[in-house]
Amino acid sequence: EVSLPEFNGLLQKAEGRDKLARIFQYSARLLVGTAAYLQPTAGTLLARVEGHARTVMVQLAGARRTHRWCKEPVWALGPFRGWV
């Protein structure tokens, strides 16, 4: 069980916000995959939900990608330690 102050503390950190965005991104991916499996006809509620879920999935993927810059593993910086 997570209390409201703990949840607020999680959202104060970039990694916490990234994890929350990941939950929504993969939930949207689940909706898109389910809709693809069910093959809804155009104009139905499921077809509209699939379109919106796809948009959310793509937008969150782009937003999360920008937050991962410069978070490479420490071993990747090994050869460049002498330059700093």
Distance CA 76, CA 17 (A): 25
Whole-number Å distance between alpha carbons of 32 and 40: 11
pLDDT attached to residue 57: 94
Contacts of 25 (CB under 8 A, 6+ apart): 56, 57, 60, 61, 64
Q: When comparing pLDDT for 70 and 31, which is higher?
A: 31
CB 28 within 8 A of CB 53: yes
- Average of per-residue pLDDT across 34-39: 94
The three-state (H, E, C) secondary structure of 30-43, written as one string? HHHHHHHHHCCCCC
Does residue 55 have a pLDDT over 70?
yes
pLDDT at 38 (0 to 100) = 94
